[in-house]
Structure 1
Protein backbone atom coordinates (compact mmCIF):
# COMPACT_ATOMS: atom_id res chain seq x y z
CA UNK A 1 0.00 0.00 0.00
CA UNK A 2 1.45 3.37 -0.94
CA UNK A 3 2.05 6.00 1.71
CA UNK A 4 -0.40 8.36 -0.02
CA UNK A 5 -3.26 5.86 0.18
CA UNK A 6 -2.33 4.92 3.77
CA UNK A 7 -2.40 8.57 4.81
CA UNK A 8 -5.66 9.22 2.99
CA UNK A 9 -7.34 6.17 4.56
CA UNK A 10 -6.19 7.37 8.00
CA UNK A 11 -7.46 10.90 7.29
CA UNK A 12 -10.94 9.69 6.26
CA UNK A 13 -11.12 7.29 9.22
CA UNK A 14 -10.30 10.21 11.51
CA UNK A 15 -13.02 12.33 9.89
CA UNK A 16 -15.57 9.59 10.51
CA UNK A 17 -14.52 9.30 14.19
CA UNK A 18 -14.61 13.07 14.68
CA UNK A 19 -17.76 14.09 12.79
CA UNK A 20 -20.34 12.69 15.19
CA UNK A 21 -23.58 14.47 16.07
CA UNK A 22 -25.44 14.45 19.38
CA UNK A 23 -28.78 14.12 17.55
CA UNK A 24 -30.18 14.24 14.04
CA UNK A 25 -33.70 15.51 13.40
CA UNK A 26 -35.66 16.55 10.33
CA UNK A 27 -34.80 20.16 11.14
CA UNK A 28 -31.11 19.27 11.43
CA UNK A 29 -31.30 17.69 7.97
CA UNK A 30 -32.82 20.88 6.57
CA UNK A 31 -30.14 23.09 8.19
CA UNK A 32 -27.30 20.82 7.05
CA UNK A 33 -28.71 20.53 3.53
CA UNK A 34 -29.25 24.25 3.09
CA UNK A 35 -25.78 24.96 4.50
CA UNK A 36 -24.26 22.62 1.93
CA UNK A 37 -26.34 24.07 -0.90
CA UNK A 38 -25.24 27.59 0.10
CA UNK A 39 -21.58 26.49 -0.01
CA UNK A 40 -22.10 24.96 -3.46
CA UNK A 41 -24.02 27.98 -4.81
CA UNK A 42 -21.33 30.39 -3.58
CA UNK A 43 -18.77 28.37 -5.56
CA UNK A 44 -21.05 27.72 -8.58
CA UNK A 45 -20.62 23.97 -8.10
CA UNK A 46 -22.84 21.65 -10.18
CA UNK A 47 -23.83 19.24 -7.41
CA UNK A 48 -26.81 17.29 -6.20
CA UNK A 49 -27.17 17.06 -2.42
CA UNK A 50 -29.06 14.32 -0.61
CA UNK A 51 -29.65 13.63 3.08
CA UNK A 52 -31.32 10.58 4.57
CA UNK A 53 -32.19 9.28 8.00
CA UNK A 54 -32.72 5.55 7.91
CA UNK A 55 -34.56 4.82 4.67
CA UNK A 56 -36.23 8.25 4.55
CA UNK A 57 -34.95 11.00 2.27
CA UNK A 58 -35.12 14.22 4.31
CA UNK A 59 -33.40 16.63 1.90
CA UNK A 60 -32.62 16.67 -1.80
CA UNK A 61 -31.48 19.53 -4.04
CA UNK A 62 -30.09 19.52 -7.56
CA UNK A 63 -28.18 22.62 -8.61
CA UNK A 64 -27.66 23.88 -12.17
CA UNK A 65 -25.35 21.68 -14.18
CA UNK A 66 -26.57 18.41 -12.65
CA UNK A 67 -28.60 15.65 -14.28
CA UNK A 68 -30.73 12.68 -13.31
CA UNK A 69 -27.60 10.53 -13.48
CA UNK A 70 -26.37 12.23 -10.31
CA UNK A 71 -29.29 10.58 -8.51
CA UNK A 72 -28.10 7.16 -9.75
CA UNK A 73 -24.68 7.83 -8.24
CA UNK A 74 -26.28 9.05 -5.00
CA UNK A 75 -28.31 5.86 -4.68
CA UNK A 76 -25.21 3.69 -5.17
CA UNK A 77 -23.09 5.72 -2.74
CA UNK A 78 -25.86 5.73 -0.10
CA UNK A 79 -26.25 1.95 -0.45
CA UNK A 80 -22.50 1.58 0.22
CA UNK A 81 -22.74 3.59 3.45
CA UNK A 82 -25.80 1.63 4.56
CA UNK A 83 -24.17 -1.71 3.83
CA UNK A 84 -20.67 -1.02 5.16
CA UNK A 85 -21.22 1.72 7.76
CA UNK A 86 -18.39 3.83 6.34
CA UNK A 87 -18.18 6.63 3.82
CA UNK A 88 -18.29 5.58 0.19
CA UNK A 89 -14.89 7.25 -0.25
CA UNK A 90 -13.32 5.16 2.52
CA UNK A 91 -14.80 1.97 1.04
CA UNK A 92 -13.13 2.70 -2.29
CA UNK A 93 -9.84 3.78 -0.71
CA UNK A 94 -9.65 0.64 1.42
CA UNK A 95 -10.13 -1.49 -1.69
CA UNK A 96 -7.39 0.45 -3.50
CA UNK A 97 -5.11 -0.02 -0.47
CA UNK A 98 -5.59 -3.79 -0.88
CA UNK A 99 -4.77 -3.51 -4.59
CA UNK A 100 -8.40 -4.09 -5.57
CA UNK A 101 -11.16 -2.19 -7.33
CA UNK A 102 -14.20 -1.90 -5.04
CA UNK A 103 -16.78 -2.59 -7.74
CA UNK A 104 -14.88 -5.67 -8.98
CA UNK A 105 -14.96 -7.53 -5.66
CA UNK A 106 -17.01 -10.75 -6.00
CA UNK A 107 -19.31 -9.77 -3.12
CA UNK A 108 -20.12 -6.33 -4.56
CA UNK A 109 -23.06 -5.66 -6.86
CA UNK A 110 -21.63 -2.74 -8.84
CA UNK A 111 -25.06 -1.77 -10.15
CA UNK A 112 -26.13 -1.14 -6.55
CA UNK A 113 -22.97 -0.03 -4.70
CA UNK A 114 -20.17 2.44 -5.46
CA UNK A 115 -16.83 2.90 -3.76
CA UNK A 116 -16.61 6.51 -4.91
CA UNK A 117 -16.46 9.54 -2.64
CA UNK A 118 -19.50 11.58 -1.81
CA UNK A 119 -21.66 9.72 0.71
CA UNK A 120 -20.72 10.29 4.34
CA UNK A 121 -22.32 8.50 7.28
CA UNK A 122 -24.39 10.64 9.64
CA UNK A 123 -23.45 9.23 13.01
CA UNK A 124 -25.12 10.03 16.33
CA UNK A 125 -23.10 9.50 19.52
CA UNK A 126 -24.30 6.47 21.45
CA UNK A 127 -26.50 5.35 18.54
CA UNK A 128 -24.28 4.82 15.48
CA UNK A 129 -24.89 5.52 11.81
CA UNK A 130 -28.43 6.88 11.38
CA UNK A 131 -28.27 8.31 7.87
CA UNK A 132 -26.23 9.73 5.03
CA UNK A 133 -25.08 13.05 3.64
CA UNK A 134 -24.30 12.69 -0.05
CA UNK A 135 -22.84 14.98 -2.71
CA UNK A 136 -22.66 14.07 -6.42
CA UNK A 137 -21.37 16.04 -9.37
CA UNK A 138 -17.68 16.67 -8.71
CA UNK A 139 -14.63 14.41 -8.81
CA UNK A 140 -15.05 11.91 -5.98
CA UNK A 141 -12.47 13.43 -3.61
CA UNK A 142 -14.16 16.83 -4.05
CA UNK A 143 -17.64 15.36 -3.41
CA UNK A 144 -16.29 13.85 -0.20
CA UNK A 145 -14.48 17.05 0.84
CA UNK A 146 -17.60 19.17 0.35
CA UNK A 147 -19.69 16.81 2.49
CA UNK A 148 -17.02 16.85 5.21
CA UNK A 149 -16.73 20.65 5.09
CA UNK A 150 -20.49 21.02 5.51
CA UNK A 151 -20.57 18.61 8.45
CA UNK A 152 -17.67 20.44 10.10
CA UNK A 153 -19.45 23.79 9.71
CA UNK A 154 -22.73 22.28 10.92
CA UNK A 155 -21.06 20.91 14.05
CA UNK A 156 -19.27 24.22 14.69
CA UNK A 157 -22.48 26.22 14.34
Structure 2
Protein backbone atom coordinates (compact mmCIF):
# COMPACT_ATOMS: atom_id res chain seq x y z
CA UNK A 1 0.00 0.00 0.00
CA UNK A 2 1.15 3.54 -0.57
CA UNK A 3 2.58 5.42 2.38
CA UNK A 4 -0.21 7.14 4.31
CA UNK A 5 -0.28 10.91 4.09
CA UNK A 6 0.64 13.03 7.06
CA UNK A 7 -2.11 14.69 8.97
CA UNK A 8 -5.53 13.41 9.95
CA UNK A 9 -6.35 9.84 9.04
CA UNK A 10 -9.62 8.43 7.76
CA UNK A 11 -11.16 7.07 10.89
CA UNK A 12 -8.61 7.42 13.65
CA UNK A 13 -5.32 5.62 13.40
CA UNK A 14 -3.20 4.36 10.54
CA UNK A 15 -4.12 0.72 11.17
CA UNK A 16 -7.82 1.54 11.01
CA UNK A 17 -7.26 3.50 7.80
CA UNK A 18 -5.42 0.57 6.19
CA UNK A 19 -8.24 -1.80 7.17
CA UNK A 20 -10.88 0.59 5.90
CA UNK A 21 -9.13 1.03 2.53
CA UNK A 22 -8.64 -2.73 2.21
CA UNK A 23 -12.35 -3.30 2.85
CA UNK A 24 -13.35 -0.56 0.42
CA UNK A 25 -11.11 -2.04 -2.28
CA UNK A 26 -12.57 -5.52 -1.67
CA UNK A 27 -16.07 -4.08 -2.11
CA UNK A 28 -14.94 -2.25 -5.24
CA UNK A 29 -13.60 -5.45 -6.78
CA UNK A 30 -16.70 -7.39 -5.78
CA UNK A 31 -19.32 -4.89 -7.02
CA UNK A 32 -17.24 -3.07 -9.72
CA UNK A 33 -18.53 0.31 -8.41
CA UNK A 34 -19.20 1.74 -4.98
CA UNK A 35 -20.56 5.02 -3.62
CA UNK A 36 -18.51 6.67 -0.89
CA UNK A 37 -17.30 10.09 0.16
CA UNK A 38 -14.97 11.99 -2.15
CA UNK A 39 -12.15 11.87 0.40
CA UNK A 40 -12.37 8.10 0.80
CA UNK A 41 -12.59 7.63 -2.97
CA UNK A 42 -9.45 9.70 -3.52
CA UNK A 43 -7.59 7.73 -0.85
CA UNK A 44 -8.90 4.43 -2.24
CA UNK A 45 -7.77 5.00 -5.84
CA UNK A 46 -3.99 4.35 -5.42
CA UNK A 47 -4.63 1.34 -3.16
CA UNK A 48 -7.04 -0.31 -5.61
CA UNK A 49 -4.84 0.44 -8.62
CA UNK A 50 -1.86 -1.10 -6.88
CA UNK A 51 -3.87 -4.26 -6.18
CA UNK A 52 -4.84 -4.42 -9.86
CA UNK A 53 -1.19 -4.02 -10.84
CA UNK A 54 -0.31 -6.97 -8.61
CA UNK A 55 -3.15 -8.96 -10.16
CA UNK A 56 -1.85 -8.22 -13.66
CA UNK A 57 1.45 -9.84 -12.68
CA UNK A 58 -0.56 -12.91 -11.79
CA UNK A 59 2.08 -14.95 -9.99
CA UNK A 60 1.75 -16.64 -6.62
CA UNK A 61 3.78 -14.00 -4.78
CA UNK A 62 1.49 -11.25 -6.08
CA UNK A 63 -1.59 -13.22 -5.05
CA UNK A 64 -0.20 -13.70 -1.54
CA UNK A 65 0.69 -9.99 -1.39
CA UNK A 66 -2.92 -9.05 -2.16
CA UNK A 67 -4.24 -11.68 0.26
CA UNK A 68 -2.33 -9.93 3.04
CA UNK A 69 -4.73 -7.01 2.79
CA UNK A 70 -7.89 -8.53 1.32
CA UNK A 71 -8.79 -11.62 3.30
CA UNK A 72 -11.76 -12.71 1.14
CA UNK A 73 -10.39 -15.37 -1.20
CA UNK A 74 -13.38 -15.14 -3.55
CA UNK A 75 -12.75 -11.45 -4.12
CA UNK A 76 -9.05 -12.07 -4.74
CA UNK A 77 -9.93 -14.86 -7.18
CA UNK A 78 -12.28 -12.50 -9.03
CA UNK A 79 -9.58 -9.83 -9.08
CA UNK A 80 -6.96 -12.16 -10.56
CA UNK A 81 -9.21 -14.19 -12.89
CA UNK A 82 -11.68 -11.60 -14.22
CA UNK A 83 -10.56 -8.04 -13.53
CA UNK A 84 -6.83 -8.38 -14.31
CA UNK A 85 -7.35 -9.92 -17.80
CA UNK A 86 -9.82 -7.13 -18.59
CA UNK A 87 -7.15 -4.58 -17.63
CA UNK A 88 -4.32 -6.32 -19.48
CA UNK A 89 -4.10 -3.78 -22.33
CA UNK A 90 -4.56 -0.77 -20.03
CA UNK A 91 -1.33 0.78 -18.72
CA UNK A 92 -2.92 2.62 -15.81
CA UNK A 93 -6.02 4.51 -14.83
CA UNK A 94 -7.95 1.45 -13.75
CA UNK A 95 -10.50 3.44 -11.71
CA UNK A 96 -12.79 6.39 -12.37
CA UNK A 97 -14.13 8.80 -9.74
CA UNK A 98 -17.36 10.68 -10.50
CA UNK A 99 -18.71 13.24 -8.05
CA UNK A 100 -22.46 12.88 -7.50
CA UNK A 101 -23.40 15.66 -5.09
CA UNK A 102 -23.83 15.83 -1.34
CA UNK A 103 -25.28 13.26 1.04
CA UNK A 104 -28.72 14.15 2.42
CA UNK A 105 -27.96 13.52 6.08
CA UNK A 106 -24.73 15.39 6.75
CA UNK A 107 -24.12 17.18 3.42
CA UNK A 108 -20.86 15.25 2.86
CA UNK A 109 -19.61 15.35 -0.75
CA UNK A 110 -20.21 11.94 -2.33
CA UNK A 111 -18.61 10.18 -5.28
CA UNK A 112 -18.89 6.96 -7.24
CA UNK A 113 -15.63 5.10 -7.75
CA UNK A 114 -15.78 2.41 -10.41
CA UNK A 115 -13.49 0.12 -12.36
CA UNK A 116 -12.83 1.13 -15.95
CA UNK A 117 -13.63 -2.16 -17.67
CA UNK A 118 -14.08 -0.81 -21.19
CA UNK A 119 -11.35 -1.88 -23.59
CA UNK A 120 -8.64 0.62 -24.37
CA UNK A 121 -9.80 2.96 -27.09
CA UNK A 122 -8.43 1.99 -30.51
CA UNK A 123 -8.25 5.71 -31.25
CA UNK A 124 -5.44 6.05 -28.71
CA UNK A 125 -3.48 3.30 -30.45
CA UNK A 126 -4.04 4.97 -33.82
CA UNK A 127 -2.90 8.32 -32.44
CA UNK A 128 0.22 6.70 -30.98
CA UNK A 129 1.02 5.01 -34.32
CA UNK A 130 0.39 8.25 -36.21
CA UNK A 131 2.73 10.20 -33.94
CA UNK A 132 5.43 7.55 -34.41
CA UNK A 133 4.92 7.67 -38.18
CA UNK A 134 5.15 11.46 -38.14
CA UNK A 135 8.43 11.31 -36.27
CA UNK A 136 9.78 8.72 -38.70
CA UNK A 137 8.61 10.79 -41.67
CA UNK A 138 10.25 13.89 -40.22
CA UNK A 139 13.55 12.06 -39.91
CA UNK A 140 13.47 10.61 -43.46
CA UNK A 141 13.14 13.90 -45.40
CA UNK A 142 15.94 15.39 -43.33
CA UNK A 143 18.15 12.49 -44.39
CA UNK A 144 16.94 12.72 -48.00
CA UNK A 145 17.48 16.48 -48.12
CA UNK A 146 21.03 15.96 -46.94
CA UNK A 147 21.56 13.41 -49.73
CA UNK A 148 19.88 15.38 -52.55
CA UNK A 149 22.23 18.39 -52.63
CA UNK A 150 25.19 16.02 -52.77
CA UNK A 151 23.64 14.22 -55.76
CA UNK A 152 22.71 17.53 -57.42
CA UNK A 153 26.30 18.79 -57.20
CA UNK A 154 27.60 15.56 -58.70
CA UNK A 155 25.17 15.84 -61.65
CA UNK A 156 26.37 19.36 -62.45
TM range (shorter): under 0.3
Give the greater-gyration-radius structure (CA). 2
Normalized per residue, the structure richer in helix is: 2
**TM-score normalized by the length of structure 2:** 0.26
**TM-score normalized by the length of structure 1:** 0.26
Highest RCO, 1 vs 2 (Cα 8 Å, sep ≥ 6):
1
Normalized per residue, the structure richer in strand is: 1
